[in-house]
Structure 1
């Protein structure tokens, strides 16, 4: 038996897929570049549809987490023969090192491309900043998607019961602050703070990995 799907069904599913995959709430702004030239700039604001997009990228984060775990961290663990305690901490620092490195690099590129570093007054001038460039909005959606993915990972990674409260507090603090800044249109200031914070956390977790690889490396 052959079942044919009509164009109306395909249109409905494609619209639903777009809601999850693409960044929502596009606003087109015309900008005059010269006397006769006019360019179109796309900016975005936030709304309830962002919840669907965040959910999708949470699933993407789970997949990436699994890939890093299986093809990188598990191979190192087998070579190093860590104890169960070190095994868990090494996995945690390995995953977070990759995330913080990516977040720091991406956030820094946004700060440079949007001239926030060369013109720091723009961080607060004209608040509330209800519109964001694509890169900035996608950055915040990815951040929230990542920290939401950390909740089911507590179960997938079989985290010890005594470590669960610490993990929940850790994840909740990130979600509350990032989502709060996003909803309250404090995205520019939050971006600067996230870049600084990611750099510090990156140093910490890389040092932790160095220490686990050889306890004699106390400098780490």
Structure 2
């Protein structure tokens, strides 16, 4: 009888060890922060990581009574909150990967290239779906859509509701967590630049909207964008399960162009017309006012360049897909086209060439002797 070969565990703190156990290590750090709430000495620091900071109470005067509203501002302590929810995002990422995506991958038997893309689309589809539903609920509650002037009226928007601030905290935490996930998930070197591009773009735009007190505009632009991205990754998941299911890409292409036009329209309307006509003009870090021409043009240029880059990638993707379809159709035509068949005249002669019959044994026919009188 032969002995079973046991899989050797990787050395402690090696690359393979960290990759295999990164979720457990991160959960331990999160548990340490949560345990800090149990002691008075560390409770103040633990609360800074877990709860949303900079609470401000506003008093609303109504006809009958006074109402208190809890609003929130932004500040440097938010970095600690983003760090804690970054840890939560890493844990959720590992749970979705292990208990959902890995089980589906075993059934589909995908190649290495499709396997990595399937995991990427699965993670992003779950995030986009949750963010889209959450963003829609905030938009309906805050009435951002019904009144477009609400995007720039009363700027600087230094205060925000709890749901709005927590939404931005989670958004920043997720996209910051996507950077170490490139290492944890062993992303291929060919895919790292592409993923780094859109991760950094998300971080810059979302953080910029949060810091510059443009959270209203950022929220309105994120929701339709997340809907388009959700449709794309959902269509790609269905495509990997069955390559004949490609109708979702057609709807995605239509909504993609509409979302780009909507983003450009709202951005030009806000930075070009709305903020330039408000009463509060100037630059003040203390007041959170960044309503100057330089900042407005920088933000508008960044958005326009990003939309142009996305459209360029979209056009290249569509052209590549169109070329692949043309090649597939041309190859099908070649296989279906009939082979060259002999003509009727050649077949009717029964193998004669120039009136002379050919013998099957490749011998010339005998010539008859002429009779002499």
Q: TM-score, normalised by structure 1?
A: 0.93
Q: 2:44 aligns with which of 15, 26, 33?
A: 15
Matched residues in 2 for 1:91 and 1:151: separation? 15
2:118 maps to what in 1? 90
2:143 maps to what in 1? 115
Secondary structure at 2:81's aligned position in 1?
A: helix
Q: What is the Cα deviation at residue 18 of structure 1?
A: 0.2
Give 5+ residue unaligned stretches, structure 2.
1-37, 249-373
CA deviation vs aligned residue, 1:177-206 (integer Å, no higher than 9, x gap): 000010000000000000011001001100
Secondary structure at 1:132's aligned position in 2?
A: coil
1:73 maps to what in 2? 101
1:168 maps to what in 2? 196
User: Greater Rg, structure 1 or structure 2?
Assistant: 2
2:160 maps to what in 1? 132
Q: What is the Cα deviation at residue 164 of structure 1?
A: 1.2
Give every structure 1 segment of 4 or more consecutive aligned residues whose post-TM-superposition deviation is greater than 3 Å.
Answer: none
Superposed CA RMSD in Å reads: 1.1
Matched residues in 1 for 2:140 and 2:160: separation? 15
Q: TM-score, normalised by structure 2?
A: 0.56
> Conserved in 1, the CA contact under 8 Å of 2:70 and 2:161?
yes
Residue 38 (str. 1) matches residue 66 (str. 2) = yes
Q: What is the Cα deviation at residue 218 of structure 1?
A: 2.4
Query: How many pairs align?
Result: 211
Q: What is the Cα deviation at residue 115 of structure 1?
A: 1.2
2:24 maps to what in 1? none
Matched residues in 2 for 1:218 and 1:166: separation? 23
Secondary structure at 1:118's aligned position in 2?
A: coil
Matched residues in 1 for 2:84 and 2:42: separation? 15
Secondary structure at 2:198's aligned position in 1?
A: helix
CA deviation vs aligned residue, 1:118-137 (integer Å, no higher than 9, x gap): 22221111111011000000
Q: 2:130 aligns with which of 102, 120, 125?
A: 102
Q: 1:63 aligns with which of 86, 91, 94?
A: 91
Higher relative contact order (Cα pairs below 8 Å, separated by 6+ residues): 1
Q: 1:184 aligns with which of 199, 203, 212?
A: 212
Secondary structure at 1:27's aligned position in 2?
A: strand
